[in-house]
Structure 1
Amino acid sequence: MGSRQVTDGQGLSWEGKHVTVAGLGVSGVPAAKVLHGLGARVTVVNDGDDARAREQAAELEALGVTVRLGDGATLPDGTDLIVTAPGWKPDKPLFAAAAEAGVDVWGDVELAWRLRGPGAAPWLCVTGTNGKTTTTQMLASILKAAGLRTAAVGNIGVSLLDAVLGDEEYDVLAVELSSYQLHWAPSLRAHSAAVLNLAPDHLDWHGSMEAYARDKGRVYEGNRVACVYNVADKATEDLVREADVEEGCRAIGFTLGTPGPSQLGVIDGILVDRAFVENRQKNAQELAEVTDVTPPAPHNIANALAAAALARAFGVPPRAVRDGLRAFTPDAHRIAHVADVDGVAYVDDSKATNTHAAEASLAAYPSIVWIAGGLAKGATFDELVAKSAPRLRGAVLIGADRALIAEALARHAPEVPVVDLDRTDTGAMLAAVQEARRLARAGDTVLLAPACASMDMFVNYNQRGDAFAEAVRGLA
């Protein structure tokens, strides 16, 4: 890790500045309102021109904001700055025109960072392919247990602009950041940050795995106290090595094994800290027990260790780590136990929408009837199936791209019985659960970990998980 001096970019004057906001929606509308309130001349451009867009446009136009619907490609004359919705791809013509004109492009995270007031709460940031939301929520729970005023914000659904500009005062913020958000946040400088893991995802947006990893690695730039990485995922440590950080910032690893110096890990069922202790060469501080983490699946223990590392970097005492983890309850559809029926556990991990997440979920149980399938988003399943084959009692496949999983099972787990449900209707989940019950034996786990997106059959992964839970309750 190198070192350099960084500034936070505050003190900007917005009066009369012409800002183009790219995209309406959950980030564009608040950004336009904030910028207009600061005295900027705001133009919103949006690709779509549907009823919802027209409703949002009318709301903004009533304030004096200019809105251009159906034209997100043309750079408005006189634009001084673009503030974009995080989902807008970097290769859009609007951004090419901005680059040619020398106009900067920020995301809403960058805007929030620039608008922080004097003495603003520092940010503890979390990113990674999987586990971001759970880890950020765990972190917030630990910080609250330490008596700190905090909130889980960012990609988690709570606007950073609201957190930065609202009336509530915070001591520290737990910030979840996506790769999209980090791409458009060039001056973000966190107190400490973690990259939980890296696996191929959103490559259609980033263009390559290298570009995806590079955007994730932006979270480490300018860190002041700690860059937290996953010992089991060398790519995350490589990002730390490549980052420019402030003098004295430390690389802190987390591992499910015995930790070395400057690491957090697990010894005999105890989460321990060998990073933020005196004489870390010889000493370890007990933080919590594995059983304090819900659920105590391996990947969730890793999430807890990453959250603990960030909290400890902020000076949180050990007892608060334990109390915060005990108080934390994961969101629905994240490896959630639904019911036990005839000695078989039924677990909903509908949030496992890619192969990396599904692999972690499958690793949590010794004998599984796996319900999988949906939209593959370009993924391949050979590595997932090869690693998980010894744990599979059977598999039930649904969704548009189920054949890809069936082919991987035929190659790497030919002895595993497979039920291929040739259905993509929402009622297929009931049939899938009934088939899984037929395959399962007492002591098994029927696990919904689709490794695919849900939109071929359901509105979102929440609806998919709800359908699973409803079907299971019907069995019970």
Structure 2
Amino acid sequence: MTDSGEGMDQMNWENLHVTVAGLGVSGVPAAKVLHGLGAVVTVVDGGDGPRQQAQAEELRALGVTVRLGDGDSLPDETDLIVTAPGWPPYSPLFQVAEKLDIPIWGDVELAWRLRRPHPATGEPAPWLAITGTNGKTTTVRMLASILTAAGRRTAAVGNVGVSVLEAVLAEEPYDVLAVELSSYQLHWAPSVHPYSAVVLNIAPDHLDWHGSMEAYAADKGRIYEGNVVACVYNVADPATEELVREAEVEEGCRAVGFTLGAPALAQLGVVDGLLVDRAFIPDRRHAAAELASVEDVQPSAPHNIADALAAAALARAYGVEPRAVRDGLRAFRPDAHRIAFVAEVDGVAYVDDSKATNPHAAAASLAAYESVVWIAGGLAKGAEMDGLVAAAAPRLRAAVLMGADRAVIRAALDAHAPHLPVFELPDGVVGAAAMEAVVNAASGFAEPGDTVLLAPACASMDMFTNYGERGDLFAAAVHAL
């Protein structure tokens, strides 16, 4: 069976044989929805642990077939595969499917095909979509806050918040959706065409999954396909503008940039401490509309301001008034572990940015402070640290390193900041004991006016359950001071 691109959303799901690849937060809802539509659903998952067993029992009780411990074999008579986003394209299951010309969708693609008309407009709720290496979750939540301030029924969905399937099938329909999409999800979403979209930034990440930087960027760029009003790009990251140039969009769709400097024509930017719009006003050649002040964005770190401008651009593309942008940004509060102030102790600020799990995110965090004692390290996932350290070196008072790949950061510090004081946590210390040790070491280096910043530039799983636990233990160690 071939994928006609637009036809399967109108198809008769009754008795269609659908294989769902993977359980988890996307696979289980997809299986339930497909079963409810009348499809013959088989779920395959390579795991066979307690979590998978519990999820399998829940689905089997509904009449769904579940095969655990075997994620490679394609069930007989499969007409369509719906995959969890984490399954890479080179999985054996997909290689077999491609030879048989069986379409492969992600849960986002399934949700797009199942959208329902809004009773007030007769059209499905438009999607304002966000991707990028860093900043997606903050931006999508800012956007949802702005849309809410404008009186729209909305939700932050996709890779965050409400599941996109749940949102499109909600009994009370949404007016518009703020949709966060990862590169994984975009790879498996061939027909998703957002109303407007933004790529916040592009930096090396997930290259083992995508195979190359070019493939990773191309999947990010899919978010611009079919845009109706605006393709929003980051002026400071030319790769995002290049993706706009390559996209096939609806006639009349415009490229709109955002910048931390004064905006040129068709851009949003910052002038005298104000966020302003020169893209969505009638006299944009000679004037700019005030949207908000820098102080309306908390914390007012540069990357947070950039995220606010991107969210504002998407909201303005949808027709939101400037006042709602201001009110939405004022109401927004960032999620935990994203450049979150923890406490001030003896004149030293302690900030938790445990979510900075790659060098690009850590660079944005470090740029927000003048004098930093930097806590870093963990699993580098093959990333290089030289560019990060070279740029941050003038701001560093000292560094406290931990984790399996701390030597990668130490080597970069030796090359670019050879006289910087450095403490390295020995191997074998993990969890609360590890964080207590690194916070105590950092406090010993810090002077009044400094910021002790947890921005690890690495993943956490070598020493902690996840980045959330890492941040929580950092906060606990700071409060213990």
TM-score between both structures, scaled by the size of structure 1:
0.97
Alignment partner of 2:430 out of 425, 430, 437: 425
**Aligned position for 2:76:** 77
Alignment partner of 1:143 out of 147, 152, 156: 147
Structure 2: distance between partners of 1:161 and 1:268: 42
- Deviations along 1:172-222, one digit per CA (max 9) or x if unpaired, are 000000000000000001000000000000001001000000000000000
Structure 2: distance between partners of 1:61 and 1:384: 49
Amino acid at match of 1:472: V
**Aligned position for 1:455:** 461
Alignment partner of 1:436 out of 439, 442, 467: 442
SS in 2 for 1:244: coil
Structure 2: distance between partners of 1:362 and 1:456: 23
**Aligned position for 2:120:** none
Alignment partner of 2:363 out of 359, 366, 370: 359
Alignment partner of 1:373 out of 361, 370, 377: 377
Amino acid at match of 2:463: M
**Aligned position for 1:103:** 102
SS in 1 for 2:129: strand
SS in 1 for 2:73: coil
Amino acid at match of 1:470: A
Alignment of structure 1 residues 376-391 onto 2, 5 Å: 376-391=380-395
Residue identity over aligned pairs, in percent, reads 73
Structure 2: distance between partners of 1:38 and 1:205: 32
**Deviation at 1:8?**
8.1
**Aligned position for 2:19:** 20
Q: CA RMSD in A?
A: 1.0
Structure 2: distance between partners of 1:8 and 1:238: 31
5+ long unaligned stretches in structure 1: 1-5
SS in 1 for 2:125: coil
**Aligned position for 1:93:** 92
**Aligned position for 1:11:** 10
**Aligned position for 2:58:** 59
Q: Contact 1:198 / 1:236 at 8 angstroms: preserved in 2?
A: yes
1:469 is the counterpart of 2:475: yes
Alignment partner of 1:277 out of 276, 281, 306: 281
**Deviation at 1:51?**
2.1
Structure 1, 95-104 or 117-126: larger mean CA deviation: 117-126
Q: Contact 1:8 / 1:187 at 8 angstroms: preserved in 2?
A: no
Structure 1, 132-141 or 119-128: larger mean CA deviation: 119-128
Q: Contact 1:72 / 1:94 at 8 angstroms: preserved in 2?
A: yes
Structure 2: distance between partners of 1:312 and 1:52: 43
5+ long unaligned stretches in structure 2: 118-122
Given the superposition, is the C-alpha separation of residues 37 and 308 from structure 1 closer, same or farther in structure 2, using an over 3 Å criterion? same
Alignment partner of 1:179 out of 171, 183, 202: 183
- Deviations along 1:385-437, one digit per CA (max 9) or x if unpaired, are 00000000000111111111111100000121111111441111111111111
**Aligned position for 1:394:** 398
- Deviations along 1:281-305, one digit per CA (max 9) or x if unpaired, are 1110000000000100000000000
Amino acid at match of 1:78: E
SS in 2 for 1:371: strand
Count of residues in Structure 1 that have an aligned counterpart in Structure 2? 470
Structure 1: distance between partners of 2:24 and 2:478: 36
**Deviation at 1:9?**
5.6
Structure 1: distance between partners of 2:468 and 2:410: 24
**Deviation at 1:10?**
3.3
**Deviation at 1:168?**
2.2
Structure 2: distance between partners of 1:157 and 1:76: 32
Structure 1: distance between partners of 2:139 and 2:170: 24
- Deviations along 1:320-369, one digit per CA (max 9) or x if unpaired, are 00000000000110000001111111100000000000000000000000
SS in 2 for 1:166: coil
**Aligned position for 1:195:** 199
Amino acid at match of 2:213: M
Amino acid at match of 1:464: R
Structure 1: distance between partners of 2:167 and 2:462: 35
**Aligned position for 1:114:** 113
1:261 is the counterpart of 2:265: yes
**Aligned position for 1:221:** 225
Given the superposition, is the C-alpha separation of residues 8 and 121 from structure 1 closer, same or farther in structure 2, using an over 3 Å criterion? farther
Q: Contact 1:8 / 1:189 at 8 angstroms: preserved in 2?
A: no
Amino acid at match of 1:240: V
Structure 1: distance between partners of 2:147 and 2:392: 36
- Deviations along 1:67-119, one digit per CA (max 9) or x if unpaired, are 11111111111111000000001001100100111100000000000000122
**Aligned position for 1:445:** 451
Structure 1: distance between partners of 2:172 and 2:452: 44
SS in 2 for 1:10: helix
Structure 2: distance between partners of 1:206 and 1:432: 35
Q: Contact 1:193 / 1:228 at 8 angstroms: preserved in 2?
A: yes
1:307 is the counterpart of 2:303: no
Structure 1: distance between partners of 2:347 and 2:126: 48
- Deviations along 1:156-182, one digit per CA (max 9) or x if unpaired, are 142111111121221100000000000
Structure 1: distance between partners of 2:15 and 2:438: 59
Alignment partner of 2:292 out of 264, 288, 293: 288
Structure 1, 51-60 or 448-457: larger mean CA deviation: 51-60
Alignment partner of 1:247 out of 245, 251, 263: 251
Alignment partner of 1:348 out of 346, 352, 358: 352
TM-score between both structures, scaled by the size of structure 2:
0.96
- Deviations along 1:217-262, one digit per CA (max 9) or x if unpaired, are 0000000111000000000000000000000001000000010010
Amino acid at match of 2:363: E
Structure 2: distance between partners of 1:9 and 1:252: 33
Structure 2: distance between partners of 1:415 and 1:285: 48
**Aligned position for 2:416:** 412
Structure 2: distance between partners of 1:420 and 1:104: 50
Structure 1: distance between partners of 2:125 and 2:157: 13
**Aligned position for 1:333:** 337
Structure 1: distance between partners of 2:8 and 2:139: 28
Q: Contact 1:396 / 1:435 at 8 angstroms: preserved in 2?
A: yes
Amino acid at match of 1:124: L
Structure 1: distance between partners of 2:6 and 2:23: 30
1:134 is the counterpart of 2:138: yes
